[in-house]
């Protein structure tokens, strides 16, 4: 039938092919199985393994255009099947592409801020595999975080290529084997000998190229693919759905619905390089964004220049008519047919073209504004109109009616900038922050964007849905056939000549997706192929399962050098997993990871940020290693418990640590040991307490308050103190009391005042200055009465003694006096002065009374007694 040959890197020439079997298919490894004989029964199989090897088949048919086919790779398996010491020994060996080596290495590692082609290219370069890319690399966004977890390099590569809709196959190039990666294999190279003659009886033209025994099969496949993601930045009610349907499939009951958290997250803005950060003088996110002092004005200027070329007279006329009806009846009242025209023509021409140019040229963002207007306005209007559902129109009109009215009017005047700003402001309040960002065409700068701004992108989700459906329907129509064209390979296009079916005319190309080739040196060779129509998109099957982490792990919180607490607006942290042997224990070790707390509400809840060096417990959403979440924390040798255990096993505490670099802490401690129960609170520095209404404190035994500095108490209304027994007040310096109204003191028993120096009582607004010594000046009048009804009533007695020689009033200890009695005992001198009148008593016994006029009145006798009485 032809020539079969083997070659090996080790140079062994003795093996001759006795049988071969080749199988290759799209996005899979080819395999060449060869049974060969050698006179050497002692070949060392190990010397062949993992070394370059090749197999070539050349047909001996003179009229066949095919010259032959070569497969080059490595030898992955070799065995001695049947030894013959005196004859030919049989060996079996398998040749596979070098890419097969990736199946032999399992790894756990992280890829960050790379697109899927970047990830694939990195792996292929590590293995020194030559690859030819036939894709638009710019169409693949960078992904924040992908984990190869306990899977082979090959499985990790395959599942990502499948996700991206990129197929691969192998060709033998001029410089050796090549791996071709393409997202449009249906647009590949056409076989040079195409179209190939189709025949029913191959024996009639055995020496010519032919295709025979063709089978055309059709199968039922899904008609709709829908996936859903969740964006924690948006309202929980926001349905982040991506869906696509096959054309002409009716009700789409055959739906594949999947929940894929994080599937739409892409890097929408990259962080600035280090040099840019230094020159920009800010964070990475701030340094990346192009500064615009007034983007709204630039939008207006741009639209003014471009609107005349983008909107023709017909659309303008239609728009003017629509405006009148909008303004007269409101958005929700416009007729269905008119809304359809506005949405189809105006949204398509103005909102699509202008918004796309504005976001790209002015704001530097290619996707946000156009997508949002499409989804918010066009979808709300066009879908509702096409289905003639007036209720949907009115519902959407209520939400955005006023702004849409203004938008329709202002677009003609070229005021898109103002409309964008106004709509964004309203959407921020009513819809979601993420949607508002899309409308304004700006990506909000967050601390969490330090490595690049990551957002859920609905267009990315829609692309994934489209690729998912194309993958499911790729082999909806399948053809299998036999041929003698041995140099066909997977990924090549062919067409047929003279097939009776119209759809298989020479103008319609077929993409070969699978090939099997087998034979012997002297027997017939059999070559069968599988193909699909090349006028339909082809995507590889989503056959490689993603890894699942069944359980939880622990990790160490990391951050930039010198930072003890590294977090963003959402309280997220970065970690280094124990299995990660590549990361440098820095803020490059992982993505931002959300942290579970005991309570998380809108502006309320618990907030305890894990700090750098803490060990945390990590779970994974849907078991996906790409989506970790911190659910707990644990102590270890380097992060000891706050109180020694097991000595303090009855203690429960919440102790913090001052940061950065502090040795202090705040603490709330509970001691539950029987007989020693206690709650302890420590504020390392300040403590503030706010009670917005009432506070009740009950201490059933003793209470001690110690203030190291000042104590200030401000009471807006009344203070009432009730002390069942005694009260002792010790003041080391001065006491000042200011009473704006009356000051009333009631004492049920005795009162004793000890004054070390002077005592001064001033009544009235103009007190006189007193020299050293006893004296009390009154600017008005003072009344003191002992007994019931007195202004300063004692109820019993009042005693005062003066300890110092200059004291005005002093009281010594006296036995109890009968009720109604008041006694003043002054050791040096007592002086009472009222204007020009005064009474002075000193310790010598001298009493001096001075005054301008004396008047004595007595209801009884007046007695004057003395050793000697002098009158004038």
pLDDT in tens, 266-283: 988 887 664 433 333 333
Q: Are residues 611 and 650 in the same domain?
A: no
Which domain range does residue 564 map to? 548-639
Q: Is 277 helix (H, G, I), strand (E, B) or coil?
A: helix
What pTM value is reported for the model? 0.71
Do 23 and 41 fall into the same domain? yes
Residues 46 and 81 in one domain: yes
Least trusted range by pLDDT, from 310-314, 556-560, 689-693, 831-835: 310-314
Query: What is the mean predicted confidence (pLDDT) over 399-418?
Result: 47
Quick one: 582 exposed, middle or buried, by C-beta within 10 A (0-12, 13-18, 19+)? exposed
For residue 736, the model assigns a pLDDT of 85
Identify whether 323 is part of a domain.
Answer: no
633 shares its domain with 648: no
pLDDT bin (cut points 50, 70, 90) of residue 171 is very high
Instruction: Give the number of residues written for the chain.
Output: 872
Q: H or E stretch including 314?
A: helix 313-329
pLDDT for 749 equals 82
Has residue 610 been placed in a domain? Answer: yes
pLDDT surpasses 70 at 288: no
Last residue of a domain, one of 75, 96, 117: 96
Residue 539 falls inside a structural domain = no
- Give residue 511's pLDDT: 98
In this prediction, residue 64 carries a pLDDT of: 55
pLDDT tens digits for 481-536? 999 999 999 999 999 999 999 999 999 999 999 999 999 988 889 999 999 999 99
Name the β-bridge partners of 215: 480
Taking the C-alpha atoms of residue 783 and residue 244, their distance in angstroms, rounded to an integer, is 98
Asked if 48 and 18 sit in the same domain, the reply is yes
Q: What is the arithmetic mean of pLDDT over 34-63?
A: 87
Q: Which of 94, 74, 66, 129 is nearest to 492 (CA)?
A: 66
Residue 629 and residue 561 in one domain: yes
Among candidate residues 61, 79, 96, the one where a domain is terminated: 96
Residue-wise burial string across 640-676, b where 16 or more C-beta atoms lie within 10 A, e elsewhere = eebeeeeeeeebeeeebbeeeeeeeeebebeeeeeee
Q: How confident is the model at residue 185 (pLDDT cuts 50, 70, 90)?
A: very high
pLDDT in tens, 494-507: 999 999 999 999 99
Give me the residues paired with residue 229 across strands: 240
Quick check: 852 pLDDT over 70? Answer: yes
Higher-confidence residue of 775 and 651: namely 651
Characterize the bridge pairing of strands 829-834 and 837-842: antiparallel
Instruction: Kindly state whether residue 86 falls inside one of the protein's structural domains.
Output: yes
For residue 499, count CB atoms less than 10 angstroms from its CB and return exposed for 0-12, middle for 13-18, buried for 19 or more. Answer: buried
Ranked by mean pLDDT, the top range of 143-152, 827-836, 837-846 is: 143-152
Give the up-direction half-sphere exposure of residue 453: CA atoms within 13 A in the CB hemisphere: 21
Tokens 């041995």 found at: 486
Compute the Cα dihedral for 559, 560, 561, 566 and give only its sign.
negative
* Residue 256 placed within a domain: yes
Looking at the structure, tell me whether residues 231 and 255 fall in a common domain. yes
Please determine, for residue 230, whether its predicted confidence score (pLDDT) is greater than 50: yes
- Check whether 423 has a pLDDT greater than 70: no
State residue 626's pLDDT score: 96
Question: Taking 50 as the threshold, does the pLDDT of residue 250 lie above it?
Answer: yes
Query: pLDDT-based confidence at 61, cuts 50/70/90?
Result: low
The span from the CA of 269 to the CA of 144, in Å, is 11
Q: Residue 464: what pLDDT?
A: 94
End-to-end CA distance of the chain: 169
Q: Which residue has the higher pLDDT, 704 or 434?
A: 704
DSSP percent split of the chain into helix, strand, coil, nearest 5: 25, 25, 50
Eight-class DSSP state of 379 = I
Which of 96-105, 280-289, 418-427 has the lowest average pLDDT?
A: 280-289
CATH number at residue 71: 2.30.110.50
Structure letter (DSSP) for residue 834: E
**How many domains does the chain divide into?**
4
- The alpha carbon of 355 is separated from its chain's Cα centroid by a whole number of angstroms, namely 28
Are 581 and 649 contained in the same domain? no
User: 233-237, 292-296, 725-729: which has the minimum mean pLDDT?
Assistant: 292-296
- The label of the residue with tokens 């069942």 reads 724
Predicted confidence (pLDDT) at residue 733 exceeds the cutoff of 90:
no
| Integer Cα distance of 458 and 460 in angstroms | 5
How many other C-beta atoms are found inside a 10 Å radius of the C-beta of residue 30? 21
Query: And the tokens for 703?
Result: 């209470």
* Residue 48: inside a domain: yes
pLDDT score of 303 more than 50: no
Residue with tokens 């390089």: 273
Distance CA 246, CA 255 (A): 10
Q: How far apart are CA 260 and CA 413, in angstroms?
A: 43
Q: What are the b/e assignments for 288-307, b being 16+ CB within 10 Å?
A: bbeeeeebbebbbebbeebb
Specify the residue for token string 């200055």.
Answer: 769
pLDDT at 273: 60
| Residue 249 belongs to some domain of the structure | yes
Distance in angstroms (rounded) separating the CA atoms of residues 71 and 58: 12
Res. 409: pLDDT tops 50: no
Q: Write out the DSSP string of 87-116.
A: SPEEEEEEEE-GGGGGGG-EEEEEEEEE-H
Tell whether 579 and 615 lie within a shared domain: yes
Find tokens 């395999």 and name the residue: 31
What average pLDDT does the segment 538-551 reach?
A: 95
Residue 764 forms part of a structural domain: no
Same domain, 564 and 648: no
Domain end, chosen from 597, 624, 639, is at 639
Q: What pLDDT was estimated at residue 62?
A: 52
Running DSSP on this structure, what letter comes out for residue 45?
G
d(CA 350, CA 413) in angstroms, rounded, equals 12
């Amino acid at each position: 039938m032809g020539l079969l040959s083997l070659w090996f890197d080790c140079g062994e020439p003795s093996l001759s092919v006795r049988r071969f079997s080749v199988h290759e298919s799209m996005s899979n490894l080819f395999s060449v199985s060869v049974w060969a004989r050698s006179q050497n029964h002692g070949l060392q199989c190990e010397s062949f393994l993992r070394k370059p090897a090749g197999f070539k088949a050349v047909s001996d048919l003179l009229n066949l255009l095919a010259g032959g086919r070569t497969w080059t790779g490595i030898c992955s398996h070799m065995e001695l099947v049947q030894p013959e010491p005196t004859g030919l020994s049989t060996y079996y060996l398998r040749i596979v592409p070098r890419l097969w080596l990736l199946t032999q290495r399992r790894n756990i590692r992280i890829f960050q801020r790379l697109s899927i082609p970047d990830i694939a290219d990195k792996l292929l370069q590590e293995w020194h595999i030559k690859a030819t890319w036939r894709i638009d690399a710019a169409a693949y966004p960078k992904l924040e975080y992908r984990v190869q977890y306990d899977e082979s390099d090959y499985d990790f590569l395959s599942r990502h290529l499948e996700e991206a809709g990129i197929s691969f196959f192998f060709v033998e190039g001029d410089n050796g084997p090549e791996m071709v990666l393409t997202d449009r294999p249906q647009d590949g190279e056409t076989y040079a000998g195409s179209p190939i003659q189709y025949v029913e009886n191959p024996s009639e033209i055995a020496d010519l190229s032919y295709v025979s025994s063709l089978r055309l099969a059709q199968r039922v496949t899904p008609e709709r693919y829908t996936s859903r993601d969740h964006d924690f930045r948006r309202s929980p009610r926001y349905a982040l759905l991506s869906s696509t349907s096959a054309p002409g499939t009716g009700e789409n009951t055959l739906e594949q619905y999947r929940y894929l958290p994080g599937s739409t997250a892409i890097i929408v803005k990259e962080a600035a390089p280090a040099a840019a950060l230094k020159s920009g003088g800010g964070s990475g996110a701030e340094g990346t964004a192009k500064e615009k002092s007034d983007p709204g004005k630039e939008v207006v200027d741009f639209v003014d220049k471009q609107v005349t070329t983008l909107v023709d007279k017909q659309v303008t006329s239609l728009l003017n008519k629509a405006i009148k009806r909008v303004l007269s009846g409101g958005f929700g009242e416009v007729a269905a047919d008119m809304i359809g025209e506005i949405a189809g023509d105006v949204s398509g021409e103005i909102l699509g073209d202008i918004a796309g140019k504005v976001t790209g040229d002015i704001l530097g963002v290619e996707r946000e504004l156009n997508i949002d207007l499409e989804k918010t306005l066009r979808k709300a209007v066009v879908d509702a109109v096409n289905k003639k559902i007036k209720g949907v129109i009115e519902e959407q009109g209520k939400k955005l009616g006023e702004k849409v009215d203004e938008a329709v009017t202002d677009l003609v005047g070229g005021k898109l900038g103002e409309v964008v700003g106004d709509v964004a402001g309203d959407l921020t309040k009513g819809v979601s922050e993420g949607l508002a960002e899309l409308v304004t065409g700006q990506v909000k700068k967050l601390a969490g964007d330090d490595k690049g701004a990551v957002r859920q992108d609905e267009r990315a989700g829609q692309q994934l849905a489209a690729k998912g459906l194309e993958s499911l329907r790729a082999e909806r129509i399948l053809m299998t056939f036999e041929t003698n064209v041995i140099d066909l390979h997977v990924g090549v296009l062919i067409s047929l000549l003279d097939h009776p079916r119209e759809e298989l005319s020479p103008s319609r190309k077929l993409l070969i997706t699978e090939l099997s080739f087998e034979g012997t040196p002297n027997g017939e060779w059999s070559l069968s192929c599988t193909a699909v129509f090349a006028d339909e998109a082809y995507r590889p099957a989503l056959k490689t399962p993603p890894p699942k982490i069944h359980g939880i792990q622990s990790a160490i919180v990391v951050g930039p050098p010198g930072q003890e607490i590294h977090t963003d607006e959402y309280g997220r942290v970065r970690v280094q997993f124990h299995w990660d042997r590549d990361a440098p224990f820095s803020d490059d070790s992982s993505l931002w990871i959300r942290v579970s707390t005991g309570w998380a509400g809108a502006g309320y809840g618990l907030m305890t940020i894990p700090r750098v060096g803490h060990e945390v417990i990590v779970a994974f959403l849907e078991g996906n290693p790409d989506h970790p979440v911190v659910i707990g924390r644990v102590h270890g040798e380097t992060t000891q418990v706050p109180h020694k255990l097991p000595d303090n096993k009855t203690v429960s505490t919440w102790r913090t640590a001052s940061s950065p670099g502090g040795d202090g802490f705040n603490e709330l401690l509970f001691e539950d040991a029987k007989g020693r129960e206690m709650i302890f609170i420590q504020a390392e520095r300040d403590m503030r307490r706010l009670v917005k209404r009432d506070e009740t404190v009950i201490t059933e035994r003793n209470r001690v308050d110690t203030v190291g500095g000042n104590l200030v108490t401000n009471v807006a209304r009344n203070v009432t103190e009730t002390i069942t027994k005694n009260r002792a007040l010790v003041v080391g310096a001065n006491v000042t009391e200011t009473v704006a109204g009356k000051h009333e003191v009631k004492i049920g028993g005795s009162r004793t005042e000890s004054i070390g120096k002077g005592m001064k009582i001033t009544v009235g607004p103009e007190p006189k200055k007193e020299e050293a010594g006893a004296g009390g000046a009154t600017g008005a009048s003072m009344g003191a009465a002992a007994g019931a009804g007195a202004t300063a009533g004692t109820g019993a007695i009042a005693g005062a003694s003066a300890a110092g020689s200059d004291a005005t009033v002093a009281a010594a200890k006296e036995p109890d006096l009968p009720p109604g009695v008041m006694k003043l005992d002054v050791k040096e001198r007592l002086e009472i002065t009222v204007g020009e009148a005064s009474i002075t008593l000193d310790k010598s016994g001298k009493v001096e009374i001075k005054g301008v006029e004396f008047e004595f009145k007595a209801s009884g006798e007046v007695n004057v007694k003395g050793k000697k009485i002098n009158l004038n």
